[in-house]
Structure 1
């Protein structure tokens, strides 16, 4: 389509105006064009000027009844120069003013006719309405004009003004008004329809542009993520390859080999964490990450996390404080694997983004749940005094592949997936997560879960009303420990330093009222716990038990501590049950729990059947488990495992470790078949899955097939040890 006069039409669109004009279509037919500005990028790189709609010129002609010979009125649409846009076919002149000029000489009142033509021209130039009486062909005619919107056009109506003037004037005025109104209405309706279409089109274009920008941002983020992943994967791989080469070259240097193996283990765990994050993110984006509800102990979860975090904290010489405040309900129903993952993500980030010598704190407390008496609300706070985050980054902290754009961050390993996964898990568990942070001031995450209470049989935790002294430089820990000790019947006092502790001990000793047990923190300002124990022993002798409490592995200082007179060790966090089971041996009570004087349980004499089709995996498992004192029997697939169990005497095997993906018979099938055997130990023997299939639905399927627990490969010997201790002792 082409406007007859394209330049003004296009300029109006460029200036953001709407425009109506006459043009021709591809077949040369005249059309009325409706145009509106629409400046958008095109696929070829150009930009559009406007959106144009057209209706045939005949449509307007028919509407105005220009060709109806019986009409007393007739109409024209003219331009500012009075040339016709649309005219009655009986009008042969080029312009409307030509028609009027030809009638001036024959008019009975020539000056009046000339004045009318002049006024009409002025109104046309001023784009205003005008009406007059003019003599045409010897008969007075009423001429009315009105400007048309979105154009430079003028609608002119001509009607007779004669004998029946009174009647016709009334009728024609009404007809003229209605005609003009209808014409304007049609144009307005057409314009509204067009603008509605334009609005819809503009909205669609806006959504498309928004989607395009989001796609570009996602593509940029994923490209950056892949670049980070390439670096983060190569870093531990380089350490593994390099340390392996160094260890191989120094086989005769035991200390060097042990150092290399320790670094290989740390790099392997980090690499495994990256892989798990990527797999979890894939599950989240496909909507397949599910939760498995199980009976867990918050005490065991936190203790496990503390043991995992110890090497990282120790490597950076950081302070790691764990506070447990009035957590009475330790057994709950939740997905223990995902809860571990949330805690590990938060604590790992705290460690990574806190400089050497910084401090990290894990704080748990309990309150009533709004869900009712069957639930408990557990608050978990993780804080640090690290580099912190800007308010701008906090707005997108939970987005996938998101990392702060800062030099200190780029030097830190990480894929940018941990917080997105954490947020997804917290939401899936119907919890809440909040974060507060300032640059160079540190970060604090606050999480709350409403857990269903587990129907665990709680034993009466009551100890004699001993007088006890708790010594720790953390005032909050002292106060929370006081609450826990008071709840189990112990009268306790606390102080913040070793020097003050010695003064209190001497004062009570001089009164003949010694403390019956003393708890000393290992890391105390000035005089540490071991030094304080030496001084206390010098004043009291050996009759009072002195226990050392610490969140760190005490193997490095155990010898020195025992030489100083330390009676035993208690690991933080100090749950109520931890304190009870650690202290009750001093009242002569027998317990099946781990004793603080001997944290390792001997598994010698226990026989375990291992189903594993990979010989290298069998060799690794055999070597690791043999160190625990167990006797291992190998079954090369699920079918052999079932046959060996069938042929063995009842009670011969104390547990079964089951791989999942095996030829002939999978671990699922083998576990189900064992449970269906007609023998007394078929339902009681612990079956533990040991597989690389480690998603929630895999774990759920293991439980459905009759397995008791699941361990993800690569094998964590500490986790295997904890599970075997739990099941074999219970058995």
Structure 2
């Protein structure tokens, strides 16, 4: 394959992966997205499934009746259509990139619902017309709530208004009932000389007399003397309660009772007391619910974009270093970690009800703590770098690195703690993470403590009592601009308790916080070959004495001779002395970031002094991707990110003991050969079919494909008995779904279908979906996106 062809192939492969992840994300978030031409019909050229669910028309029927022309769809609602087209034309005239519009839309059933169009004009043209992308959101419930609120307002006795009041006691009117507008003017009549403003000026003394209570958000009770639009004089009793805050200013709900005729006062006061409390409670609950929902979606959008940005950025970097295998491996590793985090975030959204109610069921799987922590640290490295934080990690008395636990939940717990520390620590601050193992009274169990501390903004004592409650965030101006869902620590507490552990927090406002989580995990005994490295001398160079001592103790358990130095100059002296005595070091482990002489300069001088034969491993708590080229040029042979787990160090040292100082080239996606095996792949998505077929073909198997369940049944029916060794069946397909197809295959009148392995593949990875596949007679279940290790296990089980 030529170099250009190889580049084109890899570009297509990356684009295919990106398109697949985008399609999966759209499906999981259930958002209506469509693409239109900006022609006279606003012709629809593409829409996802949720667009057709929103309008209630099946795709084929919609195309047949309306020919993808929204103007025909709105034929019976011309007023709404004219309003929409007017907004579009005005937006284009002003040269703006898009618009938002709330409007009524008719569904197939004939009912109207309120929706919001969020439209963005793209720098893209099709057939000479500019393209617009539209997201449609159902806001019918919100509009209905506003109507109900309006009815409530209009049925209250007296005049009802809602104000925001600033430090100078300027009263900004936010809402009012119709009775208030009739007496004191409409929105257009509220200028400087309006009846509304004159009444405020005439009662300035009475209002300023309440200034202290107003700015403190306390309830208000006083009387005012006002005039209405006809000049009629009224005495009004003011009853106001603070129902919220905007921009640091109190928001008051005010009911004015006409007490000019005192005989009506008592009855009105009775109704007022009951209805004011009920209204205030209802408004507070509605506003809190709306605010919590909006804040949560905003924060979750930010959290989803973070790994997406990492994926896109690492893809770009890999493309620009296409001939550097080590840099590409580094990028692919980070893309994998980010993709898994993105998937876990999506799962968190879908699993939110279980998290809030505590109905989380933990999985039991083998977890490599070194890989888990390395993945978490990799994810927070960009934020650490951007804020120039001092980041140190420690592994203390960690005897067992392989445990049995829920990989996703444990990673979620550690990531939430570490990302919180990074998030709330100002630039050039410090973040520390320590991992410690302590024995448990239970057999084959141990406690693992994850301690994360920082020099961040800290928390006030009164907030520490609420810190683990869902959606709780400190009322502090310092954190208003910091994104967060308010769920992270609540989730940490739930996970820790489910794992038989605890979580504790210590914090001093203005100085920082310390979180300590201890969880009880089942340990796995690890098989290691100590003889390969026994007796070999290794030098550790790090300005942190704790890391030097701890690493030496760790390596000594594997029979290595260890020595350490706190500075680069000291390391050079020790290497020179070892050479003179004829006891050269087998390898040197050097920290990248050290005072006086950093790791790269130390490496460069070691090479000049000791030559190219001595293996040098560069370690760092920071992302070394940007310094990797310089470090390799200086003479570094390998790289490890802190915290320093024994398994990672031993694995790297064994490579050097075997005479391999370079990273191994990547092997095939699937290990082993399945030549002579015939596989049927039933998948309706063309790109998914291509990806899976390519992977299986590379493993030597013959792959036959079917675009739906019915085609798969026919393929089996027409094949010779015993031809297919394995079937992969997508669950959701047109014409016939995967479960129905599996049942029909099992029912074919032939001998081989009873024992023929059928494995489900689906983006729906929940327990009830697994149950459906079992009931349909399938032998296993693979969740999308496909995990190559799980695919490997399936092939080994059924084709070996």
Query: Under a length normalisation based on structure 1, what TM-score does the superposition of the two structures give?
Result: 0.56
Q: Rate the CA distance shift 1:536–1:236 in 2: closer, same or farther, 3 A.
A: closer
The match for 1:359 is 430
Deviation at 1:623, TM superposition (A): 12
Aligned length: 501
Please tell me whether the aligned partners of residues 671 and 707 of structure 1 are also in contact (alpha carbons under 8 angstroms): no
Instruction: Give 1:226's aligned residue.
Output: 293
Pair 457,506 (structure 1): closer, same or farther in 2 beyond 3 Å = closer
Q: Mapping of 1:612-623 within 5 angstroms?
A: 613=683, 615=685, 618=688
The Cα of 1:465 is off from its aligned counterpart by 1.3
Correspondent of 1:429 among 471, 485, 499: 499
Of 650, 657, 664, 1:598 maps to 664
Residues 143-193 of structure 1, C-alpha deviation per residue, up to 9 Å, x if partnerless? xxxxxxxxxxxxxxxxxxxxxxxxxxxxxxxxxxxxxxxxxxxxxxxxxxx
Give the drift of 1:449: 1.5
Cα 1:531–1:326 change in 2 (3 A) is: same
Structure 2: how far apart are the matches of 1:606 and 1:537? 43
1:513 aligns with 2:583: yes
Deviation at 1:721, TM superposition (A): 5.9
CA distance in structure 1 between the aligned counterparts of 2:302 and 2:553, rounded to whole angstroms: 46
- Secondary structure, aligned partner of 1:556: coil
Call closer, same or farther: CA 1:643–1:269 in 2, change over 3 Å.
same
Change (3 A) 1:230 1:569: closer
Q: Report the alpha carbon displacement of residue 453 of structure 1 after superposing the two structures with TM.
A: 2.6
Q: Distance in 1 between matches of 2:796 and 2:600?
A: 33
Q: Map 1:575-614; keep pairs closer than 5 Å.
A: 575-588=645-658, 597-598=663-664, 600-603=666-669, 613=683
Match of 1:283 in 2: 354
CA distance in 1, matches of 2:619, 2:307: 35
Segment drifting more, 472-481 vs 334-343: 472-481
Cα deviation for residue 432 of structure 1 reads 0.9
C-alpha deviation, 1:470, in angstroms: 0.7
More deviation, 296-305/540-549: 296-305
Aligned to 2:112: none
SS of residue paired to 2:459: coil
Which residue of the partner structure matches residue 239 of structure 2? none
1:89-238 to 2 correspondences below 5 Å: 221-232=288-299
Structure 1 or 2, whichever has the larger Rg, is 1
CA distance in 1: counterparts of 2:543 and 2:583, whole angstroms: 25
Shift of the 223–459 alpha-carbon distance from structure 1 to 2, 3 Å rule, reads: same
1:529 and 1:548 in contact (8 A); partners too: yes
Distance 1:726 1:458, change over 3 A: farther
1:458 to 2:524 alignment: no
Alignment of 1:364-379 (within 5 A): 364-370=435-441, 372-379=442-449
Q: Does 2:397 match 1:326?
A: yes
Match of 2:541 among 462, 471, 474: 471
**Of 326, 338, 345, which aligns to 2:409?**
338
Is 1:489 matched up with 2:559? yes
* Change in 2 beyond 3 A, CA 1:313/1:337: same
Cα distance in 2 for residues equivalent to 1:525 and 1:314: 18
Residue equivalent to 2:462: 392
**Cα contact 1:326–1:366 (8 A) shared by 2:** yes
Confirm whether residue 547 of structure 1 aligns to residue 617 of structure 2.
Answer: yes
2 CA distance for matches of 1:297 and 1:353?
Answer: 29
Match runs of 1:11-50 below 5 Å: none
Deviations 1:505-564 (A, max 9, x none): 223333333222101122223322222111001111122211112345544333322222
Q: Is the 8 A contact 2:716 2:745 kept in 1?
A: no
Q: Report the Cα distance in structure 2 between the residues aligned to 1:414 and 1:547, rounded to whole angstroms.
A: 37
Contact 2:712/2:741, CA 8 A, preserved across alignment: no
TM-score scaled by structure 2?
Answer: 0.51
Q: Return closer, same or farther for 1:638/1:405 CA change in 2, 3 Å cut-off.
A: farther
Aligned partner (choices 554, 574, 589) of residue 504 of structure 1: 574
Structural mapping, 1:623-634, within 5 Å:
none
- Structure 2 CA distance for partners of 1:415 and 1:238, relative to 1, 3 Å: closer
What secondary structure is seen at the aligned counterpart in 2 of 1:313? helix
Q: What do residues 640-690 of structure 1 show as CA deviations (whole Å, max 9, x unaligned)? A: 67998997999999x99875544545479969999xx979x988x9x7x76
Q: Contact 2:764 / 2:783 at 8 angstroms: preserved in 1?
A: no
Deviation at 1:418, TM superposition (A): 1.6
- Cα deviation for residue 486 of structure 1 reads 0.9
- 8 A Cα contact 2:782 2:791, kept in partner: no
Q: Give the Å deviation of 1:382.
A: 2.0
Distance 1:656 1:307 in 2: 37
Q: Is the partner of 1:329 in helix, strand or coil?
A: coil
Which SS does the other structure have where 1:426 is aligned? helix
SS in structure 2 at match of 1:538? helix
Q: Hey, what's the Cα distance between the residues in 2 that align with 1:240 and 1:296?
A: 22
Name the counterpart of 2:367: 296
Counterparts of 1:486 and 1:650, CA distance in 2: 56
Greater shift, 657-666 or 432-441, is seen at 657-666
Deviations 1:108-127 (A, max 9, x none): xxxxxxxxxxxxxxxxxxxx
How far apart in 2 are the matches of 1:264 and 1:486?
35
- Residues 396 and 437, structure 2, Cα contact 8 Å, conserved in 1: yes
Does the aligned pair in 1 maintain the 2:389–2:428 contact within 8 Å? yes
Does the 8 Å contact 1:388/1:441 carry over to 2?
yes
Distance of 2:607 and 2:309 partners within structure 1: 49
Deviation string, structure 1 residues 572-625 (Cα, Å, up to 9, x no partner): 3322222222212333399xxxx9623744438978979674527628957997
Residues 265 and 461 (structure 1), Cα distance of their counterparts in 2 relative to 1, 3 Å cut? closer
Asked if 1:538 corresponds to 2:598, the answer is no
Shift of 1:217: 7.7
Taking the aligned partners of 2:403 and 2:309, their CA distance within structure 1 comes to 44
Which whole-Å deviations, capped at 9, do the CAs of 1:44-68 have from their partners, x for residues lacking one? 99xxxxxxxxxxxxxxxxxxxxxxx
CA distance in 2, matches of 1:266, 1:695: 22
8 Å CA contact 2:400, 2:526 repeated in 1: no
Q: Considering only aligned residues, what root-mean-square deviation do their CA atoms show, in Å?
A: 5.5
- CA–CA distance in structure 2, aligned partners of residues 544 and 228 of structure 1: 55
5+ residue gaps in structure 2?
1-155, 158-276, 322-327, 329-333
Further displaced range: 544-553 or 627-636: 627-636
